[in-house]
Each structure stands twice: as structure tokens, then as C-alpha cells.
Amino acid sequence: MSDNARRDADVTQAYDAADLNRAIQAYKFFYSTVSGAAIIKGNEQIGVVPNEVFATLDCGPEQLVYTANSDTPYGPILLDLAIGPLVIDLPPGPLIVCAMDINQRWVADMGVPGPDAGKGGKHLLVPPGYRGELPRDGYYVHQASSNRQIVGVRSLPVNGDVAGAKARLTTIKVYPLKPDTPWKEPRWIDATGKQQDTTPASFETNEMFWRVLDDTIQKEPPYEGYRAEYGNLSALGIQKGKPFAPDKRMAGILQKAATEANAQMRIQSFFDRRPDRQVWPDRQWEWASLRFEDGDFNAGEYLDLEAREKWFYQAIGASPAMFRRDANAGSLYWLGLRDANGALLDGGKNYRLTVPLPVPGKLFWSVTVYDLETRSQIQTAQNKAALRSLFELANLSGDSVELFFGPESSAHAGKPWIQTLPGRGWFTYFRIYGPQAAAFDGTWKPGDIDVAM
């Protein structure tokens, strides 16, 4: 090979390596954005229409939603602030509400974990770049960084009253701040039992990932805080106002980046090595989220990208109330991936989890099983993925309760049991709502998940 040919080959290799590196970093950073777009598409699948149709939903295994649960009814609300500021008028009551933009950047906590503390109030969502006059009094004002907003509402079923909890969702009012804005009062539908996929799992390792990202970039105003990341996208051919048309070389690089970046995020999520992942030194339980300073993974003087990537690969949404580790937090999540010996949980084996009673939570607690591939509630013939203190585990007595997991019910007849699938891995979230001090100071902790003989 001549010197010129060798030089040209080296240059080509260097350019390919640089673009691949950019693409891997862009994939991981904008995974939450693509996932946010998938949430909107998945809710539209069940009949939710931004600003027009909202839903009530008993979330079950038929809904593919990253680490969602069936502890409470959901109220998915999609909003489009392109028409101007919108008011979410909450009634008093046990509602847990989180608003986020399409990038899954936290916008506001409302209801019980929010500034109204469950007493009701008017929350004003302001679109990016809005320059009109805003009210000073009578509203909780929240600045959004995208026009499309994903508002997740959860209604606590007091004394197990699910029907009452769902009815409470429909008392939420949404309307424009300016009365002359064209608007028709939204209607509510019940989407319980409908098939739904709100995840990018079906296209996260192919070209469609980048096309969904480009579509989102084109539709939304740019967010100032993402300028550097937009620079990476521009070098890859994704830029607002320009068509996305990768040539054969770039298409190959983007495909390779999607495969490699996705594998990296999977390892970060389920084979994490960070010392701060572990809740207790004598247990296998991990923190579902590694950072808890705010809802956007800010850690002092830097953004904790590693924690952000881990979270959004296996979950959706983020808020300060979700991440705080103290008795004033709205909820507490622990991640269970391994048995007492450190082996990954196997859907073909039987397991037992011993939970000391009472569990230190003012509201309720639950254990939910997720498929390792879909990161959604496990889908089995049992059509059930959770054991909940409000329902299956109500009226417990004694010093502890044993929960069982495995492929066949015969091994656990008459006992609290969740079916798993042979040949598939699984993991669980242990959730406490209204956690109390003992959940944080180590005076109370669940056992490890043990192989049951």
C-alpha cells in the first residue's frame, strides 16, 4: 500500500471512529427523549389525544411501560403548550402528579408530593419562550422546556377503593390560562385492559431510533441546556430545519452505535458496579436511582450521566419526590436483581422473599416483577405482576410475610405468588409509599430473595 493510500485509510478510520463515538454518546444522552416520544405514541394508541382526551387506567401486564406498576390507577394526560400556558386545576385529595417534557426533563411535582401538598390548587404550565404576562398570585407556576408535556397522575385508592380513585382522576380540570384561547373541555376515557406499548424497545437498536429522535428535534423548540448535545447530533446529520438523510456510511455508523450504546446501557442498568448502588452492605438490594438531589440528575457541580443513563434504560419519569432518601419523600424504590448468593434471578427457578412486618410506610407498599428484556411488567398466563399491601397483602398479621416467585403455582399453593417465565430473566422493584425513618436508617430492611427449595 502506498503512503497516500495508507494515509487515506487512516483518515477514513479516524473519521469513522469519531462519528461512532459521537453517535454512541448521542444515543445514550437522547435515549430519554426517544423514550418520551414513545410514551406519547403509546398513549395515543389507547385513545389519549393531547389537550382533548385523557384516560383512566388500571395498569397491568398488557401495557408495556418501563417499570410501571399496578399499585394505583393512572391518569395519563398529554398536553401541547403550543397553544399557550395551560392550567392543571387539582382538587384536594390523595393525588400524586408529575409533569415532564418530551425529553423526560422534570417540570413539576403536584398533589401530595408537590407544593400544594394534596390540598388542591392551580398549577400553571408555561411553554418554552413564552413572553406574555403571567399571574403572580393564585397559581403554582412551572416553566416547561418543550411544548409537548407528559403528565402522569396517580390516584391513591383509599381503603382499596379503586373505583373511587379512578373517579377522582376525572375531577382534574385542564384549561388555558387565557380564556379566549380556542378550547373544548377534554373528555375522559377508561383505557383499562387495552394493549399498549409506550417503550422504544421494539426499535431501540435500529434506524428507527434515530428517525424518531430527528422527528422530535424537528417538532420541538430547542432547549438551551442541550446545545452541546445538539452539536453531536448535527455532526451526525440530525439538525433542526434540515432533512435527515444519512448516506450509506453514516447509516452503518448509526446502526452500529445503536447496537453498542444499547448494550452499554443494559450493562450499566443491570450489572452496575458503582459502590453507591447498594442499599445495605449485607443485602443484594440496590437503589433504583443512584442520584436524588433533584429530578434532572444534577449532582453538585456536574450532571451524573451514568445515573441518568441507568435510570432511563429501565424506567420513565424522574422527580425530586421520587429520588429523595428521607422520611419526607413521596415514595421509595429498591431494585432487586439478584438472589442472596449474587446470581441473577432466573425465571425457571423458585424464590422466596421474607418481608418483616410492619413495613415502615404511611401509605402502602408493593413488590412488582418485571421482564428483564421488556423492562415492563412480566406477561404470563397468571396475568399478574405485583403483590400489594392494598390488595393481595391486605390485613397481614404476624412478624413477617413470605412472598414467592416461580414458574409453577403448585410449588406455592395458597401463598402470595407471582409467576415467572423459564428461560427469561426478571427483576423487581420494592416500593414504599410515604416511607418512614426505619426504611432509611437500617433498623428495618427486607430479606434477600432466596432460592426456595
Could you give phi then psi for residue 424, rounded to 5 degrees?
Answer: -130, 135
Cα gap 279→444, rounded to integer Å: 12
Q: How far apart (Å, rounded) are the C-alpha atoms in residues 124 and 141?
A: 5
Specify the pLDDT at position 324.
Answer: 67
Beta bridge partners of 55: 189
Q: Contact at 8 Å (CB) between 160 and 58?
A: no
Q: H-helix or E-strand containing 28?
A: helix 3-29
Q: Which three cell numbers stand for residue 211?
A: 428517525
Is 74 within 8 Å of 158 (Cβ atoms)? no
Q: Which domains are seen in the chain, by residue range?
A: 14-32+201-269 (1.10.3360.10), 50-193 (2.60.40.1610), 273-451 (2.60.120.600)
- Which residues, including other chains, have CB under 8 Å from residue 118's CB and lie 6 or more apart? 92, 93, 94, 95, 111, 112
CB-CB contact of 132 with 142 (8 Å):
no
Predicted pLDDT of residue 301 = 87
pLDDT score recorded for residue 328 = 62
Burial of 316 (0-12, 13-18, 19+ CB in 10 A): buried
Composition of the chain by helix, strand, coil, percent to 5? 30, 25, 45
- In angstroms, what is the C-alpha Rg of the chain? 23
- Bridge partners (DSSP) of residue 288 are none
Q: In what order do the strands lie in the sheet with 74-80?
A: 74-80, 148-155, 95-101, 106-111
Question: Taking the alpha carbons of 58, 63, 69, 74 in that order, is the dihedral positive or negative?
Answer: negative
Query: Residue ranges of the chain with pLDDT lower than 50?
Result: none
